[in-house]
Amino acid sequence: MTNVLLADWETPFQIAPFDAISDDDFAPALEVALENHKTEIDAIADSDDDPGFANTIEALEASGKDLDKVLGTFFTVTGADSNPKREELQRDFSPRLAAHFAEISSNKALFARIKAVWDARDTLELTDEQQRVLMLTHRNYVRSGAALDGAEDARMKEIKGRLAELGTAFTQNLLADERDWYMKLGESDMAGLPAFVVDAVRAAGEEKEAGSPVVTLSRSIIVPFLQFSTRRDLRKKAYRAWTARGANGDKNDNRAIAAEILKLREERANLLGYQNFANFKLETEMAKTPEAVRDLLMAVWEPAKSQANADAWVLEQMLKADGIDGPLEPWDWWFYAERRRKDLHDLDEAEVKPYFQLDRMIDASFDCANRLFGLEFTPLDIPLYHPDCRAWEVTRGGTHVAVFIGDYFARGSKRSGAWCSAMRAQAKFPEAQTPIVINVCNFAKGDPALLSYDDARTLFHEFGHALHQMLSDVTYESISGTSVARDFVELPSQLYEHWLEVPQVLHEFATHAETGEAMPQALLDNVLAAATYNMGFQTVEYVASALVDLEFHDGPAPADPMQKQAEVLEGLEMPHAIGMRHATPHFAHVFAGDGYSSGYYSYMWSEVMDADAFAAFEEADGPFDPEKAAALEEHILSTGGSEDAAELYKAFRGRLPGVDALLKGRGLAA
């Protein structure tokens, strides 16, 4: 029988038939897909025809469709709904996939054909998009080591394979720590917790079958616990468990893995002629150099640290007023910051949270997309990979645009964080295909599910990524959707967060879970006035992580990453009561793969642009100005990686931005 993963899917919009797929289907499907892809690549490389754009570059674009189907399905479920079988398959697949793609990138006959097309590019009468695809293809093969020979070529393959194994191990160790740890709570242990946190820890206890409420290491549970629990001893225990992920000295310890990853990345960069990995990685980003990244981060670090230190002094006085000796500790910050927020802004999260229902925030994100881009969302009743998931058909003017899937709730089988991925990306070649886009979050379950304001921002953020995929309008899949420079890819997502702050959006969609009434104007004003509250803390914890990431890669690989981390933080004079947002042993952005390695700064690089880009709407006719929305879609959301990122931004805004808009937006300008 034909493996279901390789069959023609007669499902709505050819979405994976999750109800017909078993874990036993993945390995045999991968075997066939890899062999099919190898056959396609060999046919291109060994062709007797003279190399041309169609028989080389377009042929590469058309290859691997079976592999795309298998991997698109597999990595969707392993990230969001893992189990021991899937984890075992992932450990097996990762080095095999690395070896497969390393074999392709080191295929000398194939690279010779690509280079021949590249050398003849001025005589081929290519479109601008074809020129871009050709340039990126040639550059990617060179950067993958296609020009290496002999021992260097063999070593590059070894490095890629080992990095794939290590990245998988890092991810699975982190998932294991997050899944296995929880802290049981008795009734007296829930002192100070508002109803929405009590509901969340009870639901977590049911999910864990613990027989009592529990605090887990899900951010949507542990942060509210740190904000409201009056039990300082339990806050300390929970915080230490949270920050010790991947560093418990057991089989899930990630510290040696991180050290080996950094060493291999350095060797990889050296083989390609670069001084270090940061120089290699940043060459293709907007930033271009480690110096440019460091300049941006330090321009923000000093005002952020100054604000954080001033806030820490105030919070420590509150601690002492409670009769507690000793300095303000990291497990105290959230608690006293929440109390101070209530005092300064008459804002209590327990009062605010009922206005941020998950379903209403989904509606808000859809409504903004409709007003800006004419998109409409109709629920789909189709089998998905988990009962928590839901799906919508996205249309415009009656024409199908995409399928959007939302997977919003935390569970033990899902890795932490929030992300957007495409099971299928938009393309017109070799045939037209519309995108299937997924947003995955880790919100606490409830009835109804209630979000914090930060949770709501996360929902809008990930939906901004989804719009980048859904509105893509290019010919070739390799430059579709979010296939842009890493420090540009966060622009659409961070920009979309601004629409959550639009008063008319909150007035319409921030309705109370019990009464259905709109948020009172005074409370809405307080929510918006507090948007930059605690921004010194938030900026310091982020920038510290970004600078540690940069220093890991901009120079010799440290033998002991934890010592290097400590040295960087000491040099920055990191405030005592603030920890890195992502310490090394659980810094999945950097160590689960190469995506954000030397690139965690990119959120802030994009924020420089998003603050300036939203100002363009404010300078026009407001947040729903139709001309600016059309320009945003034309120059950024629809273009994928079809042009240089800086040129795309200048086409939208007319110039590149400076850091001033970011500092103003974070309330740090003074």
Question: H or E element: which one contains 75?
Answer: helix 65-80
Sequence-distant (6+) residues with CB within 8 A of 318 are 336, 339, 340
User: What phi and psi values does residue 120 have, to the nearest 5 degrees?
Assistant: -100, 10
For residue 394, the SS3 value is strand
Sequence-distant (6+) residues with CB within 8 A of 95 are 161, 162, 164, 165
Vertex 167 angle, CA 165 and 172, to 5°: 95
490 touches 393 (CB < 8 A): no
Sequence-distant (6+) residues with CB within 8 A of 212 are 184, 185, 186, 205
Q: How far apart are CA 444 and CA 199, in angstroms?
A: 9
Q: How far apart are CA 475 and CA 426, in angstroms?
A: 8
Active-site residue (options: 266, 462, 633, 643) = 462
72 touches 385 (CB < 8 A): no
Q: Which amino acid is at 153?
A: D
For tokens 């947040």, the residue is: 623
Single out the residue of 371, 365, 430, 372 nearest to residue 404, CA to CA.
Answer: 365
For tokens 């901004």, the residue is: 464
Is 431 assigned a catalytic role?
Answer: no
Q: How far apart are CA 421 and CA 575, in angstroms?
A: 35
Strand 399-409 relative to strand 436-443, pairing: parallel
572 touches 547 (CB < 8 A): yes
Sheet containing strand 390-396, edge to edge, reads 376-380, 390-396, 399-409, 436-443, 419-424
Structure token digits, residue 319 = 């601690």
For tokens 């952020």, the residue is: 304
Single out the residue of 410, 415, 455, 354 nearest to residue 206, CA to CA.
Answer: 410
Farthest-apart Cα atoms in the chain, separation:
83
Q: How far apart are CA 499 and CA 230, in angstroms?
A: 35
Instruction: Name beta bridge partners: 421.
Output: 438
Taking CA atoms, 356 is separated from 187, 343, 493, 512, 514, in Å, by: 27, 21, 20, 8, 12
Q: How many other C-beta atoms lie within 10 A of the C-beta of residue 508?
A: 15
Q: How many other C-beta atoms lie within 10 A of the C-beta of residue 327?
A: 12
For tokens 């990126």, the residue is: 136
DSSP per-residue letters across 531-555: TTTTHHHHHHHHHHHHHHHHHHHSS
420 touches 466 (CB < 8 A): yes
Known catalytic residues? 462
